[in-house]
Chain A
Amino acid sequence: MKVLVGVKRVVDANIKVRVKGDGSGVDTANVKMAMNPFCEIAVEQAVRMKEAGSVSEIVAVSIGVPQCQETLRTALAMGADRAILVETDQEVQPLAVAKVFKALCEKEQPGLVILGKQAIDDDNNQSGQMLSALLGWPQAAFISKIEITGDSAQITREIDGGLERLCAKLPLVATTDLRLNEPRYVTLPNIMKAKKKPLDNIKPDQLGVDMTPRLKTVTVAEPPKRSAGVKVADVAELIDKLKNEARVI
């Protein structure tokens, strides 16, 4: 079975972004970029399934600026077999992502697509569900476990009150949650090997997808700051403050 994995290039999770002075967005110039953490989990899952013998080929896909090639090389170093960059300078929104992946699925015919549940930059949490809907395939969002048996998948997914067990036929679109796995670190020999793996570059036009953003960002602002708090010396003072100043207990 072939697996398609999405990888997004985002601002590194440890960096606190700054809003630009003119309100046009956040400052991403000279900021460290990395693979979106949930996409790392997606790649790791595909690699583990290949190691276990249920997957034969892993194709990593990214959409965006030419520098996304670096993110794809990371996916290749983790164990993906080949990569596709759908190159565009336009702002990429989830509906367009879903349409690009749909076109690629029609071409590549994977048995499984694994995407991260959410990108940590725009925090949308949409693309996987949208892709599943456009393809008319089953959806398994926020998964913490997946097992393939024959032509179906047994899934455990995270829901608000606990866990849900789901059974679905392949092909399937799955989105990853945190506890699915812990991604491996890439090793130097694998980074060297990844340089030799194939990376195709195509344009959205070649897939017949219109990337025009549907949502217009009017302005981006800083969130309101919390007023400075105080250090209290001991439990007695804390209880006094909570009772008599904040009046919350």
Chain B
Amino acid sequence: MRRRVGGLETEFGLVCVRADGTRALEPEAAARELFRPVVAQGRSSNVFLRNAARLYLDVGSHPEYATAECDDWWDLVAQDAAGERILAELVGSANARLAEDGQDARIHLLKNNVDSQGNAFGSHENYLVDRRGEFTRLPRYLLPFLVTRQIVTGAGGVVVDRPLGEPTAPGTPRFVFSRRSDHMWEAVSSATTRTRPIINTRDEPHGDPTRFRRLHVIVGDSTRSEVSTHLRFATTDLVLRLIESGRTLPELALADDIAAIRVVARDLTGAEPLELAAGGTTTALEVQQRWLDLASTVAEPAEQGVLETWQKALDAVRTGDRSWAAQHLDWAIKERLVSQVVERRGVALDDSVIERLDLGYHDIDPSGSVFASLCRRGLAPAVLDEERIAAAVTTAPASTRAHLRGQVVTAALEHGVDHVVDWTTLRLTRSGSAPVQILDPFQTRSDEVDALLARIRGGGAPTPGAV
């Protein structure tokens, strides 16, 4: 597909602590407090917003924000950043209510992927692919790319390796490209919570099932850097386009994807040999470089920047020169920060101070977090300008179906009209109102939606009992 729709679902970690760091509220209670204004407005903890994104509480009381459909990856970064803003605002108002109430309790939302006991939660990428494309052929080419992509887009972090079957033995802590890699158990499957795969095959196209399929990639780390988030989508999109193009592709299928993903995470040189299914070996750097070189044959002129950034990221691993990466890519920003704090405080990599630092990096607090401190000093990238992010809080992407959903939600909220929407369907709850279905994610105009908007604006007196 030359134009592709994509979206990003982020589950956030939630902790509510007293000033002394002990837990003040259980996650369920903290989530209830956080979502109080959402439920007050939408009478549900599962709503679609004016920017056409979905906000809800997922399994395990994880607040989840799913961006609207985007066909431009900077739009997607803006929509994702908007989600952080929206949630940070909810955190701010919840903490103000708790303080007013005299409670010693403060909520932190963490855009990361694992709690202190190793429970995992996700950052799921969605890509629209053509139903006619051979979905069965796709993983063979995509998997080696996804296994090694972490050397570019990983969030970095520390893992402690212990001898097998000895969970209390002294371990060896090390800095890795991606902690998420240790939570991957299969290459391709339909599971998400038990045996988590790299590619999830649940077939929910959220569109015309005869034309579209949704590729659900769940191997990614939640990224804070806008450059890292952009690269996740922009590079994967280019690789998908290559696979769809029918040209000859590199045969890089790995002998064991799961063994390889853990090796790649731990090898900061990108040069460790990885066994190929067909015999012989490759390396993470080689897999990425092969795809990057090929991508230059399908990239549009406007995508030259993506190719250059991708190359800079690979060069940072190849040469060990982190000067660019340490200000642009999550794993390298965190690598530098961790080494500075280790040196300054004389602590080991597995000291709880370093884990606290990691949590601070992923805390979405716009003023007090470690990441905010880095951004203020230009030590983490802020690519999108303020206006674009502020606009994305209230406005859906204009070039996809999200534009229609955003208009309906915005009008319905303005006029106090009860409505129910999901990814494909728009409907008013008043009796006699027929649902409008939009099965083409690229559709941005619809007479039926125009009629629906007219009904909302015309007969829009709030129904009795409505907020």
Q: Are these two chains actual partners, yes or no?
A: no
**Measuring CB to CB, which residues of chain B are less than 8 angstroms from any residue of chain A?**
none
